[in-house]
Structure formats: structure tokens, C-alpha cells
A and B are shown apart, each in its own frame.
Chain A
């Protein structure tokens, strides 16, 4: 299929999974009741469930899924490594430390915004530290050093988090662990708006970097000879993709696999041109996470399965299938050189 066809298919899929997401849930609502509630009519309770619970959650899944997938694709180009993913540079460690501190201090229970705010602050701190460590005296960023710095900073924050957890009570540990596995359950319209206002400019700016990111795939020096301002591209790509990831992590916890598997799958399907890959990765990530969330909340009612578990359970077989198919077709595998 041509990229434009893929875009149409995935765009339609986003709309469909959004509708599916607000139609399905523990409360047994008929499609008629749901649409009545959406249009502002129907029962008050139904309206509350659809408009205040299901709709913001579905929108959040689209934003975070798309954002994680897009930033994963950017990290893969930036680090020239197909195994890179949004959390590879320590953002999840920083966010988790912030979140665990907020939970342990009891702030998360008393103030609804404290948990995302603390997680976001932790993520920002990690991003800042990594950039400081990786930038050399002449302000060049060596991506190998960046990767190393990210791994080290991540390990440091993981240790901080483990320390806080070790001196916390069992309830705190349980909430922290659940937060780290990710959940969209806390989504309300206020968080959704904040994530939207914050993510959309980053998404647009990153898609605007598609062409220089393509050049990075063939090496920094060649990219420079072809006219790219390599240092600026690397710096902007790192900061924007990190902030996008941080927003998602702050709002929903650490949701794994989306940022690794979705960009890869899209690359196997449409090739490595980032002008096509980035928008499609956003759409596919949105579809994937919305579907995963639907499964997470409907498979074991009335409990919710952590969404990170679903993304791995669904994502890994799907990805292996794609990988086998593309290797079989001789299109060149996405792994390796």
C-alpha cells in the first residue's frame, strides 16, 4: 500500500477505536445510550460515565500512544539504533522517582495534580542531567555519550526510587508499582487538555524535523555535508522527544513497548522515510494504545489489568509476526545494519 493509503486507514482506525473505547466498559451501556450521552442527552449517570470517564480516557490513549510511538521513532534515528525507545535515556527513572516520592509523602492521595506534577518534574530533571553530562565543552552532543549518560542517569534514579520504596509501607509500594506499570484510569479532561496543549506543538515540531532525521540515519558527517545543521537537529530532537515522553509518563505512568514496537512495525510496512514514518507512527501508536486500554479494562472485570502488561502481551507477538513476514519477503529487516 502507498503511504497515503496507510495514513487514511490509520486515521480511520483512530476514529473507530475511539468510538469503540467509549462504547465498551464495565458499565453496560447500549450504543444508543452512549451517543445520547455524547450529544448531551440521556441519563445523568450515563452522561457522567461517557463524557467524564470514557471520553477523556480515550483521548488520553490517543495522545500518549501517539506521543510515545513518535518519540520512540525519533530516538531510534537520533541514536542510530533500532532498539532505542522513549525511556532509554532515563526519563522513566526520573519520572518514577518523582512519582514515588509524591506517593510516599502522601501528596498523591491529597492532591490530584501532585502525582503527575512530581513525575513530570522528575522526568525534566533526568532530561536536564543527561543533556548536561552529554554536552562537551564545545557544546557538541556525542550520541554515544548521550546514550551512556541516559543509561547511567536512569540507573541512578532507579536506585533513588528503590531507596524510597525500601523505607515506605506496603500500600505505598503497591501504588508505586501499579503506577510504574502504567494506567489511563486517572485521565480527566484537565489532564487531557494539559497533555494536548503540551504534546501537539512537540509533535508538529518533530514531524518538521523528519528530513534531517532521515539524513542522520546515514551518519552525522554525511548529514552535515548534505546541508543539515547536525548539532541543532540532535539537540532539538532530543529535547522535544524527551518532553513529549515526559508528558505521557507524567499523565499515565510508564507504558512500555509502544515506543519500541510501533515505530518498528511502521518502518517494516512503509520504509524508513521519516516524513512518512513519523505521522504514521503517531497514528498507529494512538490506535495501538487505545486498543490496549480497551482490553485492559474489559478483559477481567471489574479489575483492570495494567496497560503495560497488555501492550507487551499484544505487541510482542504482533511485532514478531511482522518481523518474520518482512524477512521472508526479503525487504530487508529493520534490525541491524
Chain B
């Protein structure tokens, strides 16, 4: 077991072995013995209900939360062995949200991505300037450079934050629901940008609630359920009706999207469930309208555990 994980670490960008995290005062562990591996150059999407431990996994991978058991590693080294500056040159993060204490401009925020490369009083070198303007070009925010962040739309702010992470010139990019508030075009632009980066050799770790888009863009998926791994593997292996229904506690149909060829996940309505379900794996959930009350009560119990995992 130990030798196997050590061998797999060699080609892994990120990984955990039996990692457990228990927040103080939380009744349940946020992560319970989670083992996962993100291979280098992989587009890796992490799915799961609210409170299933997705954000905690991201923070643990980069050493931001103390863990009780197991290990998290980055490029084969335990994360606790990494110096923060060295880690910031390898891993760029777009966290769920951040708030500004003072008004700053788009250019200033993107330039902060160069922090791990610069000395205390050193000013930007041509290399830094090039990295900053390249990141801004790629994210299409060059025209916003001198604008204050408070004057931007949600999509522009997210693109600015992605640009800051790209300005770190990282080998792995970790994003926590970066497209949650974006419209179709801006969401697709960011996902295509991530896909292109992966095709250029970058590793991407993306937390998202968009199952269809994850299936289309990601190479591998991880489905978390209350701090444990419900499924891991290629999109088609992970996005199975039985698994999704169990994890999300909602009737779900998975079909093939004729336009993209990727699996398409359709949440059904509890009342129309019996008529909408046809064929394969639906029999386990066919108790129809009578299940609606039990379904809603169990989903509320699921959301009560979200307090521990989804802290900003």
C-alpha cells in the first residue's frame, strides 16, 4: 500500500492518502480517509453536494487546514514540507470568494500573482511584466487594467482572479467554483481557457456543481459525499444514475448528449419521477410521489452538515 502510493506520487501533481480532517466543534469529519490522485497534465473536476468536503479538500491539498490523519502531497512532496513561496510558484488558486479591504485596480490584483517571484523591495522585472500582461491577455481583461475592482461585473472579477493565478505561472491551477456566478459565454470562456491550459501541460483541479460541463471538459472526476469518495474515474464511470441519486438525494437521469457526445445529467422532479424514468437503473427509486416527503427531509439533513465544509 505504502509503496504503491509512493510510486503513484511520482507522476501525480496533487494527491491525498487516507486524509482526514475534522474541524473543531463540527459533529462529523469534513473529510474522512480520502485518497485521491490528480495525475500531471490532467483536467480533474471535483463534484459533490454542498458540504461534501470539496473546498476543504482544496484547502487541505495546499496545507491551509491542519489534518488529523493521512497526508496531502503536491508533486510528490508532503504539503507541510513546502515553503509557501515555493508552493505559490507551483500552484495557483482561485478560491471561492475574497473581499477587498481597500480599492485596488485590475492590474494591481493581477500583479499580486508575481509575489512569490519578487524580493521585498524588488520592482517588477521584464519577466514579471510579461507574465502579467500575458495572463491579462489570455483572460481578456487588458482593457480593464486601470479599472477599480469595485466597478467590474461578476464575470470580469472572476477573469481577473483567474488572471492573477495564471500570473503565478503555476504548474497546477486549483479553482473553487470559478464560474458559479457567470453567464454561459463567460463560463464557457473560462472552461475553454482551462482546457487549453491543460492541453499545454498544466494540471487543473476544478471544483464545480456543473456536472454536464465537468463531464465534457474534465479528464477525470471525483465525486465526494459527506467527506468520503463516492466515485472517482473517467466521467462515464462516475456519472451513473444510481451513484448520483444516492449522493445528491434526488432523482437524476443520465443520458448521452447528442451535441457533445458527453454524458448529460438531468435532475428530474420528484413528482414526475415515475413517468419520466424509463428503462435502466431507475427501479431503485420508483416509489414515485410518496418518496417526495422522505426525499426532502433527507436533503435537509444533508444540508445541515454543510456548515462544516463550505466555510469561505
Contact = CB atoms under 8 A, between A and B. Distances in A.
B102 A226 contact: no
Contacts of A226: 88, 112-113, 115-116, 164, 168
A275 B100 CA distance: 17
A271 B101 contact: no
B142 interface: no
B54 interface: no
Interface string B115-148: 1101011000000000000000000000000001
B274 to A, nearest CB: 46
Contacts of A273: 104, 108
Contacts of A138: 66
Interface stretch (A168-176, A207-215, A292-300): A207-215
A226 B92 CA distance: 7
A225 B103 contact: no
Main secondary structure of the interface of A (DSSP, over half): loop
A337 B112 contact: no
Main secondary structure of the interface of B (DSSP, over half): mixed
B151 A211 contact: no
A82 B93 contact: no
Interface string B96-108: 0011111111001
B109 interface: yes
A222 B98 contact: yes
B62 interface: yes
Interface string A124-143: 00000000000000100000
Given A225-B62, A227-B87, A82 B101 contact: yes
A54 interface: no
B3 to A, nearest CB: 32
A11 interface: no
Interface in A209-244: 209-212, 214-219, 221-222, 224-229
Contacts of B120: 208-211
Nearest to B66: A138
Nearest to A138: B66
Counting chain A CB atoms within 10 Å of each CB, which of B99, B102, B116 scores highest?
B102
A279 B252 CA distance: 60
Interface in A254-281: 267, 271-273, 275
22 contacts: A77-B101, A81-B101, A82-B101, A208-B120, A210-B120, A210-B121, A218-B104, A221-B59, A225-B62, A225-B95, A226-B113, A227-B87, A227-B88, A227-B116, A228-B115, A267-B102, A271-B104, A271-B105, A272-B108, A273-B108, A332-B150, A334-B103
Given A208-B120, A333-B103, 19 more contacts: A81-B101, A209-B120, A211-B120, A214-B112, A215-B112, A217-B102, A225-B88, A225-B92, A225-B95, A226-B112, A226-B164, A227-B88, A267-B102, A271-B104, A272-B102, A272-B108, A332-B103, A332-B151, A337-B150
Interface of A: 76-77, 80-82, 138, 207-212, 214-219, 221-222, 224-229, 267, 271-273, 275, 331-334, 337
